[in-house]
Amino acid sequence: MTRPLPAATTLARPVRPSRLCLAVAQVCIVLGMPTAAGNAQAGGGATASVASAQTAIRAGERLSDWLLRNPPGAGDDPAALAWQVPSARQAQAELKQALLAQLWSARDLQADETTRQRLADWLRSLPVTGRVPLAIVDARWLQANPDQDPILAPGHALVLPQRPGTVTLLADDGRPCAVAHRPGTQARGYLQACIGEAASEADMAWIVQPDGRVQRFGIATWNAEPQSEPAPGAWIWAPRRSAAWPEDFSDRLATFLATQSPTPIAARAAPTQTTTPLAAHAAPAQTGTLATAPVGATPVAIPPSDPTPAAGAHDERPIAAHAAPTETTAPATPPVGATQVAISPSDPVVARPGVYTANDWGFIGLLQTPTARMSPAGELRFHLSRVEPYTRGSVVAQPFDWLEAGFRYTSVSNRLYGPEIAGSQSYKDKSIDFKLRLAQETAHTPALAIGMTDIGGTGLFSGEYLVASKRSGDFDWSLGLGWGYVGNAGRVKNPFTWFDDSFAEREEGAGGGSGGEFSASNYFKGRTSFFGGVQYAPSDDWVLKLEYDGNDYQNEPQGNNQKHDSPFNLGVVYRYASGLDLTAGLERGNTLMLGLTLHGSLADLTVPKLLDPSYPRPLSTYPAGPTDWARMSAEFAEQTRWPVREVRRQGTDLQLVVEEPYTIYLRDRIDRAVAVLHLHAPADVRRFVLSFHERGMPLTDWVVLRDEWVARQTRYRAHAEQFEAVVAAEHWPAHSQEKLWAGPAERFSTGLEPSYSQSLGGPDGFILFQLGITAPTELRLADDTWLSGRANLGLVDNYDKFEYDGPSNLPRVRTDIRKYVTESDLTLPTLQLNHVRALGTNQYASLYGGYLEPMFAGIGGEWLYRPWNSHFAFGLDLNHVRQREFDQHFGLRDYDVTTGHATLYWHTGWQNTLVKLSAGQYLAGDRGVTVDIARQFDNGVKMGVFATKTDVSAEEFGEGSFDKGIYLSIPFDAMLPFSSARTADIIWRPLTRDGGAMLSRTLSLFDLTRLRDRRVGRYAPAGSQAWLALDDDREDGRSIWGELGHTGGWLADKIFSPEAVRPLLLGAGLTGLSATLDRPLADWADEHQGGTWDTLGEAASLIPFGLAAGAGALWMGLADDAASDTARTSLLAAGWTLGAQLATKYAVNRARPEAGLGPHEFRGPGNGGSDSSFPSIHMGVAFALATPFAQKYDAPWLYGLAAATGFGRIQERQHFFSDVVAGSLMGYGIASLLVDEQRTRNGPAITLGADRSLQAHWKF
């Protein structure tokens, strides 16, 4: 039952011009629908009873006040109170229309016409209510949170339903099924009650709670997860996988159901049979019927369009509902037209998540073996394990949900590090591992991952693996194939030997010695073995593991073979706390294993700011009287820690010049700033402009619309009524401003902070450290000129053990680190004079000189080009430096060098990933390139990796082969109970070497101008909603792999259709005709070898790689959405072309021209097929990448660029002419088909925001 609550007056609100029918419908809605009652009576069906209102809404009162005046009666459900707002109806009407249109346009949907028609009729019967979800319907809570407490206005309606006794399941055939609510029962229990065994075919459930919350959970045995139980009156939509309902349709349907009442009125069933033709629903008409009376109208209720189903409508399918009904907490009143069933009296089954823990190597797995499982993105794990003779310490990070990477130290207790340099210390080995997810688990297919161990170390434990994992309830099964150390038992033949016999042998000790080299020639070679196992998690705290190991420990590195009694290992994991796991096991049939894992999500790291000043509560009133600007500036600084330099006014704009305002959580600081400004600024000020300066350079402005900001802070409104209150804007110098106040500049600052440094894994001890205090000091000579320095005093260390200086073949620019940290306890790491200046709108420059870092002193400068809000920036730095004395005082040594780099900064727009590419000369005089890739999470935590390769050879570089490392940056704001702009930066390098060493500059213009970053406003404490969204933000988590299956089905349908016969025959004919030129062009290639011809041939063969790089950059956000989507099509086409051509190569097995066997040597399927000449993969991929862009942008010259690849393949004697023609035709054909598929996805679309608000846009 519903109780509409009319107000004293009803006013029509203006609507935006749209379709005529929508406008008419909205007018009818607002005016109270005088025809609705007539329709209800004329329908002849049962009408739902409606209770009259006790008290009318008072225009302008808050919801909390109304709730206090109208406490809920017996049987009412206050949590389901519906606040209906006219301005929300248009977006909901468009959502309803999009649902009806998608019913008939969804390409992969398996539902028949009758099912689609039934669901369409049912959807049409649902009203467009304008319901806006409320956070919590509690008067006192709303009063304490005014930003969630709406002000009721004319045209609004409140509907308080009675608490029903049922939960309604909407079956994917369009039939509703009402089930008596049972406490503790989750979605799967209601599903089984309605459809019986068919419930096993449902993978996901969308639950629409009576309060309007929409939740989505995995409910199958392979993806079950913790979930909320449906409350009385909830809707459940859980389509069977065989029906192939698109997820976006299910999301939209659930969102639309959230606008409905949980009462029988909104749960009407449409008739099973209909005579409306299918074609009539290509563009369904819009209905705007409101089930409840708006404010000021006569209470009415709309009956079902057909309350009496057709004969046999619900007798066609069996309902597994014949179990004895159970007691319910409320009368089980089913929706009109719905079948009512009851849940079996057995105990409810509570879904639990999969519990995945670390293996002995620190990666998610069993014991010795890996699995395809991953942790959530942002997790960091410290793992320690001991299984004789190995002690492994691992640090593993999960920067993306598809990538697990980390480094490890292994101590081998029965081998020495080196008696000459390390005495009796056990041998230490360093390694880097990674695991990459190739495919996610589905109902019928396992998760699939590929991984490598010890790829960047000595190679003693190097190995590769491919592993699959499948979950079944509390059990998780895995099966994999390992090479190298992972498959050392060699129990099966290496499958790659079917393609090439060279895969049978693996070079022993590959990568050993200096380490750090990537021995690609050994990957997936040598001994091979299956591995696998199962884990059972009887509870969230315990995990039992059993595995079959692929290593028999009879081929251990350093001749360290171990006794091996059994290939089966077993163990148990106890989760002592949410971030602490303890492991014990028996391995090799005879050896005890113990392990400890500390883990947690850095992406979720947050600490309440209990020590910050209390937040000034915004008021809806505006101040009167004169403003004390000095007092306002002082309160502003107290709340934000930002010094105010000037206060200016121009018309209704109030501008504050704020110096050095950077903080990672800009959202909270700006809100605090505006709260202070609103309390003090004159009432006629309409906009606040916060002009952010850094060292005297204006960087950006943040413009605040005062009235909108106050409205957001003091009352809750429908999404359609909200506007962006705070926006970033490029700084623009204003004129004719009145200066109201100027604050003094702080000229001198100093302080004391703790300092810590360490060295890991050296021959003098696994960890060498120093703990001390440091005193950063700054003297500002002008806004843009300052003297800065830092003194450090070491207090506690074990550097007395630090004796070993590693060998070096280069100038010792870094390997003298021991002398720099042991010579003196009191040091002066930096002391320098700095000057910066803005050179126009987007250019900045700096000059600096002095003691620039602990090891070098000198002078330098930097220039940076950084457009506001851009994806890109470019900088140049040049420095001439001399090496400092070891005591880090004022003396200098003889070595000097000029060093500098050109650096490109690229915000990819993809999962907030930043790429930095630097090229130049390093401290040792070597020249090369540094690549730095980092992912930053929404709470500001950053995970990154870097690598440098210079013109120094691996032998000359020494151990490690090239400079590389991993780093982590954590904002203090995420760790401390008070706000801070500082960050904790942790960098790990396997070794400190002299090659690829950059000058450690403390002044970086890119860091200094970070307020111009397009994402600077998006970071917020974990758990809070993103504040600033950009229109061209790329969707996180996009996966080319995930779309291969979908596009594969499309391609198969097209290629094997009758319409494809003619193009296929034409292609075959062209290929055969081109074969007549195979011999002449092969002879030409033989005569044109060496010199310029070779250079041209090599350049032409690189064209596909350039096209792939360009498509990848466009896909990840280099340009607009249209270019990104076209690049996606290109990459998918290239992937399918590559797969199709590899299969063709293996089947045809044609000899290459360089073999000298002629164009007619076809060996058929068998060994060596992967090296077949026919067809040309280079040509196929080039045309696959070029075709989508050539067709979309009408650029036929791209075909010429792709065709130039053929010149290179023929000149290099890798392909015959017919190979090139066949490859190009395959790439062109596959890409053209996928372009057609892309066009079908273009058009207007409704998407759901993070708060489930509705947004209309054009979908490319």
Q: Domains in the chain, ordered, with CATH?
A: 4-310+322-341 (no CATH), 379-506+522-604 (2.40.160.40), 629-742 (no CATH), 748-1012 (2.40.160), 1041-1244 (no CATH)
Instruction: Say if residues 1233 and 1188 touch (Cβ distance below 8 Å).
Output: no
The length of the chain is 1260
Q: What are the pLDDT digits (tens) for 1137-1189? A: 998 888 888 888 898 998 888 888 888 776 666 678 899 999 999 999 999 99
CB count in 10 Å sphere of residue 475 = 14
Look at residue 1055 in the predicted model and tell me its pLDDT: 82
Instruction: Say if residues 7 and 295 touch (Cβ distance below 8 Å).
Output: yes
Question: Exposure of 1050 by Cβ count < 10 A (0-12 exposed, 13-18 middle, 19+ buried)?
Answer: middle
Please list, in sequence order, all residues whose beta carbon lies within 8 angstroms of the beta carbon of residue 4, skipping any fewer than 6 positions away.
50, 53, 157, 158, 159, 292, 293, 299
Look at residue 656 in the predicted model and tell me its pLDDT: 95
Look at residue 943 in the predicted model and tell me its pLDDT: 95
Closest CA to 230 of 246, 221, 219, 243: 219
Look at residue 1163 in the predicted model and tell me its pLDDT: 80
Which amino acid, one-letter code, is at 1050?
W
Global pTM reads 0.80
**Per DSSP, what are the bridge partners of residue 397?**
380, 405
- DSSP-based three-state secondary structure for 216: strand
What is the pairing mode between strands 843-851 and 653-659?
unpaired
Q: What percentage of the chain reaches a pLDDT higher than 90?
A: 57
Which amino acid, one-letter code, is at 1030?
L
CA distance 606 to 939: 8
Assigned token pair, 1106:
């350039």
The full DSSP string for 658-695 is: EES---S-HHHHHHHHHHHHHHHS-TT--EEEEEEEET
The full DSSP string for 927-966 is: EEEEEEEEEE-TTS-EEEEEEEEESS-HHHH-TTSSEEEE
Residue with tokens 């037209």: 337
171-188 CB burial, b ≥16 within 10 A, e <16: bbbbbbbbbbbbeebbbb
- Main-chain dihedrals φ then ψ at residue 1097, nearest 5 degrees: -65, -45
CA distance 445 to 777: 60
Within 13 A of 1180's CA, how many CA atoms are on the CB side?
26
Look at residue 511 in the predicted model and tell me its pLDDT: 46
Which helix (H) or strand (E) segment holds residue 274: the answer is none
CB count in 10 Å sphere of residue 82 = 28
CA distance 1026 to 941: 15
Instruction: Say if residues 898 and 911 touch (Cβ distance below 8 Å).
Output: no
The DSSP letter of residue 2 is B
Instruction: Say if residues 794 and 888 touch (Cβ distance below 8 Å).
Output: no
Instruction: Say if residues 489 and 562 touch (Cβ distance below 8 Å).
Output: no
Assigned token pair, 114:
């009758």
Assigned token pair, 564:
């091996």
380-396 CB burial, b ≥16 within 10 A, e <16: bbbbbbbbebbbbbbbb
Closest CA to 1222 of 1053, 1073, 1048, 1055: 1073
Measured at the CA of 1205, the angle between CA 1202 and CA 1208, to 5 degrees, comes to 165
Furthest CA-CA distance within the chain: 102
**Per DSSP, what are the bridge partners of residue 62?**
151
Closest CA to 798 of 758, 840, 748: 758
Look at residue 100 in the predicted model and tell me its pLDDT: 93
Closest CA to 783 of 874, 696, 886, 697: 696
Cis peptide before 271 (omega within 30 of 0): no
Question: What's CA 502's distance to the chain center, in Å?
Answer: 40
Instruction: Give the dihedral of Cα atoms 780, 781, 782, 786; nearest 10 deg.
Output: -50
CA distance 1224 to 583: 55
**Per DSSP, what are the bridge partners of residue 436?**
403, 450
Look at residue 267 in the predicted model and tell me its pLDDT: 36
Assigned token pair, 483:
């090479």
Instruction: Say if residues 397 and 933 touch (Cβ distance below 8 Å).
Output: no
Closest CA to 876 of 1034, 1006, 704, 709: 1006
**Per DSSP, what are the bridge partners of residue 769?**
758
Closest CA to 393 of 369, 417, 409, 415: 409
CB count in 10 Å sphere of residue 1101 = 20
Assign residue 911 a region: left if phi > 0, alpha if psi is -120 to 50, beta otherwise?
left
CB count in 10 Å sphere of residue 1033 = 16
- DSSP-based three-state secondary structure for 198: helix
Encode 329-351 in three state secondary structure: CCCCCCCCCCEEECCCCCCCCCC
Question: Exposure of 404 by Cβ count < 10 A (0-12 exposed, 13-18 middle, 19+ buried)?
Answer: buried
Measured at the CA of 490, the angle between CA 486 and CA 494, to 5 degrees, comes to 90
Q: What CA–CA distances, in Å, run from 1202 to 114, 129, 527, 1209?
A: 49, 55, 40, 12
Question: What's CA 840's distance to the chain center, in Å?
Answer: 36
Residue with tokens 């890991």: 760
Closest CA to 1127 of 1049, 1187, 1045: 1187
**Per DSSP, what are the bridge partners of residue 96?**
none
CA distance 138 to 449: 48
- Main-chain dihedrals φ then ψ at residue 493, nearest 5 degrees: -75, 140
The full DSSP string for 1175-1199 is: S-HHHHHHHHHHHHHHHHTT-THHH
Question: Exposure of 751 by Cβ count < 10 A (0-12 exposed, 13-18 middle, 19+ buried)?
Answer: exposed
Q: What are the pLDDT digits (tens) for 328-359? A: 333 444 455 566 666 666 666 778 889 999 99
Closest CA to 353 of 526, 506, 173, 227: 227
CB count in 10 Å sphere of residue 809 = 14
- DSSP-based three-state secondary structure for 1076: helix
CA distance 322 to 171: 18
Assigned token pair, 505:
């042998």
Question: Exposure of 17 by Cβ count < 10 A (0-12 exposed, 13-18 middle, 19+ buried)?
Answer: exposed
Residue ranges of the chain with per-residue pLDDT less than 70: 1-55, 107-108, 263-348, 419-423, 456-457, 509-518, 959-960, 1024-1046, 1049-1050, 1116-1118, 1166-1170, 1240-1260
Q: What are the pLDDT digits (tens) for 377-431? A: 999 999 999 999 999 999 999 999 999 999 999 999 988 877 666 667 788 888 8
